[in-house]
Chains A and B, each alone.
With several copies, the nearest count.
Chain A
Amino acid sequence: MNFDLSEEQRLLESSLDRFLAERCPVARVRELFDSGEGLDETLWRGLSELGVMGLHLPEEYGGSGLELLDLAVVAEAFGRHATPGPFLEHVLGGLAIALGGSEEQRSRWLPGLASGELRVSLALAEGEDRWQPEQWQLPGGARVSGVKEHVPHASGADLFVVGLHGGTLGLVEGSDPGLRGEPLEILDRSRPLSRLHLDGAGCDLLPRGAEAAPRMRDAGLVLLAADACGGGIACLDLAVAYAGTREQFGVKIGSFQALKHQLADMAIHIHPARGLFWFAAHAFEHVPEESAVSAALAKAHLTDRFLDVARASVEAHGGIGYTWECDVQFWLKRAVFDRAFLGDPSCHRRRVAEQMDWSE
């Protein structure tokens, strides 16, 4: 019985923390945010060298053969540091190919994805918030035409995993002339999004795409929940640090009981929720019958709590929290992203409700 991270996972966590503190401190996040680049090639290569991109991919294709919980540890660290970049869609794209691809597709793509030499993105959402596999309407085939919304880091991606009608998946290469990305003006500049226009683009269907798609979605929900947990804790820590230094009326504002209680409530919101994504990550491989429900629950709960805590952190910072100069903005916007991407909390709570047998 052990409900905690393993030694190896803690090591991974602390080495990532060190790495990110050094290579992508908040000042660097700000630079990327201001420039709207969203992708730091050096950071990407550094993380790839650490083995982050293939952590979960089979060893035969150059991955480390680890589990979703290991990826989630990475995601939480990224949330804690508000790390910009195309991590989420890249590891999910790799997962989709590993789970749903043919031997040929796996051999062709996974080694490059694991090493970070190739970059994959996801084209899932359609209009009216159709994020879930059963809602996709884009007709599949050797060539596909249509529009996909909210495609992350589309510019420069070597490959797209595209959601298709019937809940299946296809691969479209980034170089395909039938592809056109239209960058969107986005809130969270650390994770830029595009609208992707497909006009007769060549499409290579994943043979087991229909099984892989909901698994990939569940993994994505877990990683977003992990990101939210790390982000929420960062928001609390920022507010606590501010309350312990800022003075008003001649004393530290952290000595005012009302603010103390607001900070305590933030801790009550976010800290106990960490187990939700741990368990959901664990269940992904080990308790399959609980996987879908626990992933949806973790995403709904943690992204809601992240937003609560981020709002509270802005308030705890007073006027300064409302400025571009204050670092809390990165997390507030990240919270909105985590909450909306792959479907909002209400949508996932409804999914849980449908799958629960309350009479048990």
Chain B
Amino acid sequence: MDFSFGSEYEAFRETVRVFLGENWPLRGEEADLSESERARRFRRRATEAGYLYRNIPRRFGGSEQPPDLLEAQILREEFGRARAPMELTGQGPQMVVPTLLEWGTEWQQERFIPKTVEGDYVWCQGYSEPGAGSDLASLQTRGERVGDEWVIHGQKIWTTHWNRAQYMFALVRTEPDASKHEGISYLLLEMDQPGIDVRPLKQITGASEFAEVFFDGARTPADWIVGERGQGWRVSRSLLKHERNMLGSGARAQGLFRSLIRLATRVERQGHKAVDDPMVAEKLVELMGYVRSQQYSSYIQLTRELQGGESGLLPLLNKIGNSNIAQQISSIALSLLGSDSLLAPGANPRGTTSGNEKWMNQFMGSLGESIAGGTSNIQRNIIAERGLGLPRQESPASKDEAGGER
């Protein structure tokens, strides 16, 4: 066991530090630019230096570096320390770009990747449907080939970034006679067109992060399909794997835990800080056992990926571990909040910015964990069947269930 990076990597770290010291924050005239423009300029320089978009070819706006998880880790640490902008997040850079790199045609890559990496193109996802739920592959939105176009009818739900996205990547049933998983294609389409109607979906918190999207003869060119007709399910799987990794990292649990600690040191109970109550403190320590387990597990995975080995069960357990922790944290937070829990998420109690109100968002949000990336019950099936090798259930439902793992 060795937590150092070795001298070669420490040299790399030093170079990164020098770069950051010189380039962030922007100086001179550039310091007066808008925040987004400053970030854009910095990202461009950091990419030229080889620090961002490392897996993307230079011709598509990336820095085309050989994969190196340790360098990636060092970059995360140093950029984080300097509070410098890292790669753009969101479904475009994190989902569409890797998919196009793996499955897209040359013209699709040229057309979409550079602008997505720059942040000019924003994407939304069209996977889930109201009738499908965790049985994603039963989706009904259909696409018909009419001349040089796909004509799309149907409905999607849980579409994020709907208010900013110019493009959607969607799973659409194009081969109605094929079997459930073989009849789906992966299409790209423009959002701003008459055949598309976007209706924001209000969540239990009152906010609208998601929308429903209705297609009534929406159109997209024939060659905006990624992969072959009927290959859409496979194309999308590589993304889900990616998404699952994103959700599974230990960092989110640690962040939530630190916030909870801050809450417990801020809230008073009978004249004492809550954190000084032995019951509260013991609960926090119990939770800390789970949080650190999650953190170390992600280090173990990282190590094994570095060495090209198998990390076994751990990646399957990651996501559900994070959901469990988020739920525990919400429950403890709710007890700490006391009467502040009566207030709306986002409300501002006592006219001070105590920050307690955001915990009601977190509490509600912990219930919504299951929407992104597969529900806990489906995940448990996968752990049992793929991870522990238990027999598939004999019912007809079972095959689909493990297939439609979302």
Interface, chain A (partner B; CB < 8 A): 1-6, 69, 125, 127-129, 131, 149-150, 184-188, 193, 236, 240, 243-244, 246, 248-252, 254-261, 263-265, 267-268, 271-276, 278-279, 282, 286, 294, 297, 300-301, 304, 311, 314-315, 318-326, 329, 332, 336-337, 339-341, 344, 346, 349-350, 352-353, 356, 358-359
Contacts and interface: CB of A to CB of B under 8 A. Distances in A.
Interface string B271-295: 1000100100110111011101111
Contacts of B292: 275-276, 279, 294, 297
A279 B350 CA distance: 38
B157 A319 contact: yes
A261 B392 CA distance: 13
Given A128-B268, A248-B134, A264-B387, 7 more contacts: A3-B3, A150-B339, A186-B344, A318-B133, A321-B367, A324-B202, A341-B339
B320 interface: yes
A272 B384 contact: no
Among A3, A69, A321, A332, the one with the most B-chain Cβ atoms within 10 Å of its Cβ is A3
Interface stretch (B56-64, B99-107, B214-222, B374-382): B374-382
Given A150-B342, A318-B370, A248 B324 contact: no
Contacts of A193: 342
9 contacts: A149-B339, A187-B345, A255-B392, A257-B393, A272-B314, A297-B292, A326-B204, A350-B285, A358-B264
Interface in B306-359: 306-307, 313-314, 317-318, 320-321, 324, 334-335, 337-339, 341-350
Contact of B285 (A264, A275, A297): A297
A324 B204 contact: yes
A274 B363 CA distance: 27
B77 to A, nearest CB: 11
B338 A340 contact: yes
Contact of B349 (A184, A252, A304): A184
B2 A185 contact: no
Sort chain B's interface into a size bin: 35 or more
Given A258-B377, A275-B299, A353-B284, A297 B289 contact: yes
Among B278, B342, B370, B401, the one with the most A-chain Cβ atoms within 10 Å of its Cβ is B342
B342 A263 contact: no
B381 A3 contact: no
A262 B309 CA distance: 28
A323 B370 CA distance: 13
B239 interface: no
Contacts of A1: 2-5, 9, 70, 73, 302-303, 306
Contacts of A282: 1, 3
B348 A264 contact: no
B380 A325 contact: no
Contact of B303 (A4, A304, A337, A350): A4
Given A1-B73, A300-B285, A350-B278, A244 B390 contact: yes
Interface string B103-138: 000000000000000000000000010101111001
B297 interface: yes
B389 A240 contact: yes
B128 A5 contact: no
A193 B368 CA distance: 26
A332 B388 CA distance: 21
Contacts of A358: 261, 264-265, 275, 281, 284
Contacts of A248: 132-135, 138, 397
Nearest to B292: A276
B1 A264 contact: no
A249 B404 contact: yes
A323 B201 contact: yes
Contacts of B157: 319
A259 B303 CA distance: 32
A254 B396 CA distance: 15
A185 B348 contact: yes
A281 to B, nearest CB: 8
Contact of A260 (B270, B271, B390): B390
A261 B1 CA distance: 33
Nearest to B344: A185
A187 B343 CA distance: 5
A284 B3 CA distance: 14
A323 to B, nearest CB: 6
A2 B1 contact: yes
Nearest to B399: A249
A186 B339 CA distance: 11
Given A240-B390, A324-B202, A340-B338, A301 B404 contact: no
